[in-house]
Amino acid sequence: MNVFTKWLILAVLIIAAITCYSYGSTSGLFIFIIAGFAFEMAFWFGVIPSKKQSR
C-alpha cells in the first residue's frame, strides 16, 4: 500500500469517527458513539506502526 492510500484511508477514518461522535451526541443514539469509537480505534491502530521483528 502506498503512502497516499494510507493517508487517505486514515483521513476517512477520522472524519467518520468525528461524524459519528457528533451525530451520536446530538441525537442521543449510543450506537453512533460506539461506531465513532470503533472508527477512532481503527485510525489509531493505522497510525501507530507495528514493529516487525527482523532476523
What is the tens place of the pLDDT at every residue in 28-42? 888 888 888 888 888
Number of domains into which the chain is organized: 1
DSSP state string for 14-53: HHHHHHHHHHHHHH--HHHHHHHHHHHHHHHHHHSPPPPP
The domain of 35 spans 3-47
16 in a structural domain? yes
53 in a structural domain? no
Residue 21: name the closest of 47, 40, 41 by CA. 40
pLDDT band at 48 (very low <50, low <70, confident <90, very high): low
52 in a structural domain? no
42 in a structural domain? yes
Share of the chain above pLDDT 90, in %: 0
